[in-house]
Amino acid sequence: MYNPTPLATLLVYSLLVLLAQASPYPRQSGDLVGYFFVHFYDREASIFAHLSNGNDPLSHQTLNSDNAILVPTSGTGGVRDPFLVSSPEKSKFWIIGTDLLIDDTNWDAATRTGSRSLYVWESDDLVNWSSDWLAEVVGETAGMAWAPEAIWDADAGQYLVYWSSRFYDADDTAHTGTATEDRIVSAYTSDFRTFTEATDYIVIPGTPIIDLTILPLSDGEYLRFIKNETDLRVWSERSSGGLFGTWTKIGDGYVNPYVTEGPLAFHDNEVEGRIHLWLDEYGSDTRVYGYVPQYTDDGGVTWVNGDRN
């Protein structure tokens, strides 16, 4: 997530499947009419948007003439890693994101004394959005709160929000010492304004991890994708016991052999059982930088490379 990749066109993408009743665009047959993506650019840490051409997730058009649809007015003034959240009934939506303007700092400082808050915008229709607000989600021993996402937890009746943090000793108030390895931290919220106390969600001793995304499959079943900051690759795991069940790697775990991060996973609108996974490939000298699409029809056992448009 935090490696600068100037050649990547789209660093972080988030997606929402468009329901016909929620879309301001002409209806097509069926309930699902397309995909709405939000992202940021290296050139500007604001919210930009693309809309798919129908139900083809690999063909898009820019919105607002490829100008930002939302510009942060608080915090550092820069938003990265935007993620779209929908209420279960699709009546309310939020965009959450990392509060980080890297042009005004550097990556080391951003992990030591970075923002511990998330940007939040709210909408009833995906068109009209509130002003941004900052939601502090983790305590003063954390060095940052990066790449937030959220998923509805029906058992808890709230949204489980998760992000990446590293932590410093309580007496190291300047965060100049050695930190823990990056881990995934979580908290619950019902309104993205107030949050429960942050707790560890995924900690792997000896392995720093960032960029978690979770995809629900069916009752109690989930796929998740995580970046290993040692191997600089993304692996996949599956749980049949809910968000806090036992997670098992699929095969050797890794979904491709390349240096990647920022996973985006979503279901296909038309092909039953097909799951799309996009990865930001930022570390290869022989391949094109940017988002690399792939898909699976067998729950993540095998992946097929898609075409980039």
Predicted confidence (pLDDT) per residue in 40-67, tens digit: 998 999 999 999 999 999 999 999 999 9
Q: What is the mean pLDDT of residues 30-35?
A: 85
Q: Give the tens place of pLDDT for each residue, 194-205.
A: 999 999 999 999
pLDDT tier at 31, thresholds 50, 70, 90: confident
DSSP-derived letter for residue 111 is H
* Spatial contact of 223 and 237, defined as CB atoms under 8 Å apart: yes
| Assigned token pair, 160 | 């489980």
Tell me how far apart the alpha carbons of residues 62 and 52 are, in angstroms, rounded to a whole number.
9
Q: Residue 131: what residue type?
A: S
Residue of higher predicted confidence among 33 and 143: 143
Beta bridge partner(s), residue 222: 216, 239
Residue 43 β-bridge partners: none
Are the C-beta atoms of residues 262 and 274 closer than 8 Å to each other? Answer: no
Q: Which residue has the higher pLDDT, 69 or 26?
A: 69
Return phi, psi of residue 47, to 5°.
Answer: -95, 125
Give residue 129's identity as a one-letter amino acid code.
Answer: W
Assign 287 a pLDDT band (cuts: 50, 70, 90).
Answer: low
What is the C-alpha to C-alpha distance for residues 175 and 304, in angstroms, rounded to an integer? 43
Q: Average the pLDDT over 256-281 and give the result.
A: 94
pLDDT of 29 over the 70 cut: no
d(CA 230, CA 177): 20
User: Measuring CA to CA, which residue among 172, 197, 276, 277 is closest to residue 235?
Assistant: 277
Count how many Cα atoms sit within 13 Å of the Cα of residue 152 in the half-sphere of its side chain.
Answer: 14
Give the tokens for residue 213: 């995304």
Per-residue exposure over 118-135, b if at least 16 CB sit within 10 Å of its own CB, e if not: bbbbbeeebeebeebbbb
Query: What is the model's pLDDT at position 306?
Result: 80
Percent of the chain with pLDDT over 70: 88
Q: Does domain 12-305 have CATH number 2.115.10.20?
A: yes
The residues spanned by each domain of the chain are 12-305
**pLDDT the model gives residue 251:** 86
Q: Which two tokens stand for residue 280?
A: 């930001």
Which tokens belong to 129? 């959005």
Q: Which residues pair with 264 in a beta bridge?
A: 278
Q: Give ∠ CA 153-159-163 in degrees, rounded to 5.
A: 110
How far apart, in whole angstroms, are the C-alpha atoms of residue 264 and residue 261? 9
